[in-house]
Each structure stands twice: as C-alpha cells, then as structure tokens.
Amino acid sequence: MPISLQQALRDSISLRNVSESSALDTELLLSYVTGKSREYLRTHSEESLSIETYDKFQYLMLRRKQGEPIAYILGNKEFWDFDLKVNKSVLIPRPETEFLVEQTLAKLKNKFAPLRIADLGTGSGAIAIAIARKNSGWQIDAVDISEDALLVARENAAMLQVSNIEFHLGSWCDGLPKEQYDLIVANPPYVAPEQKLFLGEGLSFEPSVALVAEDLGFAALDTIIRTAKFYLKKDAWLLMEHGHDQQKKLVDSLKDLGYKNVAGHKDYAGIDRIVECKWI
C-alpha cells in the first residue's frame, strides 16, 4: 500500500524520546529524501512516496532515533547568515558560537583598514568564514589540529567563495604563522572528561578533540591565554568561548598574566559564555 507524505510525517512520534523538535526533524528528513520544500510537504500531504524514497526516509529516521544529530544526517548546518557543510570530523556550530561571532564583529566595527585576525580551533570554519565575509580586506589565519576538519573548512570557504582565509594545521597558536594579530578569537574544547557523559546522547557522535579538555575542561583555554599574548599587537583583542562555570577562573588567570580590559559576557540564554581582553 502506498505511503502518503502525511503518513510519513506522522512518524515524528517515534522521535519524541530523542528530539525536542521531532516534527521539525521529520520534516527536514522527508524534505531531504524527496527534494521538496517543507511547505510542499504540508500542502501536498496526500501525495504518495515511492517505496525507494520511503525506505531512504526510514533509514534516516533510524539514524535519528539512535541519537545521531540531524546536522550530520543532512550534512549541513545553518550558521550566522549562511549554510555550512558538516560531518563527524567537525563540531556542529551552535548558537553560543554565533554570539562569539557577534562579539568579535563588534570589536572590529568601523575598522576598515587591512586587519590580521586569527581563529583558533576553526573546525568547520564557521567563525573564520563569518568574519571573512564581513570584509574581504581582512586576512584571517584559521588553525585546527585535525586535517579532516581543515578539509571541511576549506570546502566551506570555497563553497561560499571566501578567499581571504588561510588554513593551517597545528595546535592553537603554535599553528599560526609568525605574525602579529589585531584580534584572536578561539572556541576551544572546554568540557571536562567526566562531564561529557551528562551532556546528551548526540555529543557521542561529535569529535571529542573539539569538545573535551583535561584540567576540568580548562587545559586548552590555559594554553591559549599563555601563548596568545606573543601573537597580539599592542591594543589587540583576544576573545574566547568557555564553559558555564569557567568564567571567574578564566578572568582571574587573564588578569594574572597581564591582560587588560578583561570582561565576561553572558550568551543569549543568560549563561556566562564569552571572555574578552586586551594585550597592551
């Protein structure tokens, strides 16, 4: 018996245990296999699916039921004002990181001269691309320790026709050219190993190297703040994303290391998330 679009959409009930957006996830997966818009699915609900298409849909639904993030299944994720390719080599960009981009661009507002900016732990290239698209005269050096992640980042830059980013393989500031920067931005791993178990099933699909850091999640942050000052110009900014319970320790450490204008910001959800400081 043929399966209608409406019947397929009713399968969303099977995702309720793994997703708070089960209806949306189902629409996205059905849209993906049919090549039709979500609006089309709703307005042509009596239209039938071929057996082959329904089987593909069921396979993707099974992956989602097993906890795999929708972004990995679809192979893309909306970020800022563009879409990014994502796979299991890169962390899925999150709204918190859009807030980091917002704060970074605020520091660069009304600065039209050629600037040099570094993005540490670029992953999919999300932050670097968002900054690079703002001003083609800015040069961005984006670093990641994963060759597979850099492949994804380069693909995204090429897809979005961004040419003012250079990608570098390396660990944090050690991966940068011997340059001085007007701004360094970083979204390092900051989850403690013992915390990962409590952060949701979907995280098991994401690369641990991009999520987890030793020293209660502080190891990468500590490495960055101890080395970034050697790469910053006078009066240059450093901005970092961090965990919800790490801001006080991070602020105190930055002050102890001689950084100035140290300040923390809460994200869109009112959670401590960003620290900014200057090297003077």
- Looking at the domain that runs over 79-279, which CATH code has it been given? 3.40.50.150
- Calculate the average pLDDT of the chain: 95
> Tens of pLDDT along 201-212?
678 899 999 999
Instruction: Give me the amino acid identity at 99.
Output: F
Residue 163: count of CB within 10 angstroms of its CB: 10
pTM for this model (two decimals): 0.93
pLDDT higher than 80, residue 117: yes
In angstroms, the CA 186 to CA 18 distance is: 30
Residue 231: count of CB within 10 angstroms of its CB: 22
- Which superfamily does 3-66 belong to? Ubiquitin-associated (UBA) domain (1.10.8.10)
Domain spans in the chain, listed from the N-terminal domain onward: 3-66, 79-279
> Tens of pLDDT along 8-58?
999 998 898 888 899 999 999 999 999 999 999 999 999 999 999 999 999
Is 3-66's fold the same as 79-279's? no
Q: Could you tell me the two tokens for 110?
A: 């009304």
In angstroms, the CA 70 to CA 62 distance is: 11
